[in-house]
Amino acid sequence: MSNIDKNLDSLIFSFDSINKIREESLTISREIIRDCSKSIRYLHRNERKESEEYLSRAENKLNKLKLITKEVPEINYAGYVIDAEREFVEASLFFIFETKYVLESYENFKVHPSSYVQGIGDVIGEWRRKALENLRKLDLTSAEKYLEVMEDSLEILNELDYPDAITGGLRRYADNARALIERTRADLTNAIINESLRKDLSKLTKDEL
């Protein structure tokens, strides 16, 4: 076998190995995103057991994804890997806040920092949905709780002054979060005013009787 053939065989073996990892990691990434989406949907239905089950599945698959891509930086930092991490962070932040009422710290995740930032940006939309759900129930205290965690999250995004190239679009996430928070604050304020008026009218009616 000539040196050229040996060299070519070596290259083919290397690229075949990388491509195999790429195909496997793509499949796992898609599964993680699906599991995280299901976890969030179940949590919105207040079905925590099912939500936790899908979140656990996603975590196990993410650990596998990180393991098989660890030695291949061009895949480890690929967009679809970051997407899987981002979705996992979003689902995890959502679930943990529902169960512990805390904003889980970055240090408790084994993900790229940009994935955590993007996950925070995404979960704010889920918290707005929960806030509106509680407003419909006239549970103003719970709605205010979601507004507070949304504001805490935005504070983190605002304090990170780094280029979008390394944060995955931090400014866009912060701008979107700010708009959602302003709308949620307005919705909550209107609900508080309406509830106060309702109580005043109810009191007047009772006094008249």
114, 150 in Cβ contact below 8 A?
no
88 and 157, same domain (yes or no): no
Please check the confidence at residue 91 and state whether its pLDDT lies above 90: yes
On whether the pTM is more than 0.85, the answer is yes
Q: Do residues 111 and 78 touch, judged by C-beta distance below 8 A?
A: no
Domain stop point among 70, 101, 132: 101
pLDDT at site 34: 98
The pLDDT of residue 205:
61
Mean pLDDT of 84-94: 97
- pLDDT of 140: 92
Range of the domain at 75: 1-101
Report d(CA 149, CA 101) in Å as an integer: 9
Q: Give the model's pLDDT for residue 76.
A: 83
- CATH code: domain of residue 94: 1.20.58.2140
Number of Cβ within a 10 Å radius of residue 81:
23
pLDDT surpasses 90 at 98:
yes
pLDDT category, 77, cuts 50, 70, 90?
confident
The verdict on residue 106 lying in a domain is no
Which segments of 78-163 does DSSP mark as H helices, in order? 79-100, 113-136, 140-159
Q: Give whole-number Cα distances, 186 to 13, 147, 166, in Å.
A: 60, 11, 33
**Does the pLDDT of residue 51 top 80, yes or no?**
yes
Whether residue 208 sits in one domain with residue 180: yes
Distance CA 202, CA 198 (A): 6
How far is it, in rounded angstroms, from Cα 165 to Cα 17? 29
**Quick check: 208 pLDDT over 60?**
no
Domain co-membership, 140 together with 180: yes
Last residue of a domain, one of 76, 101, 126: 101
Residue 151: helix, strand or coil by DSSP?
helix
The Cα angle at residue 87 between residues 30 and 127, in degrees rounded to 5: 140
- The mean predicted confidence, pLDDT, of the chain is 90
Residue 131 and residue 86 share a domain? no
Indicate whether 107 belongs to any domain: no
Tens-place pLDDT, residues 53-66? 999 999 999 999 99
Q: What is the predicted pLDDT for the residue at 203?
A: 62
Both structure tokens of 162: 């780094």
Q: In whole angstroms, give the CA distance from residue 88 to residue 114.
A: 13
pLDDT in tens, 147-193: 999 999 999 999 998 988 888 888 999 999 999 999 999 999 998 88
* Proportion of the chain above pLDDT 90, given as a percent: 68
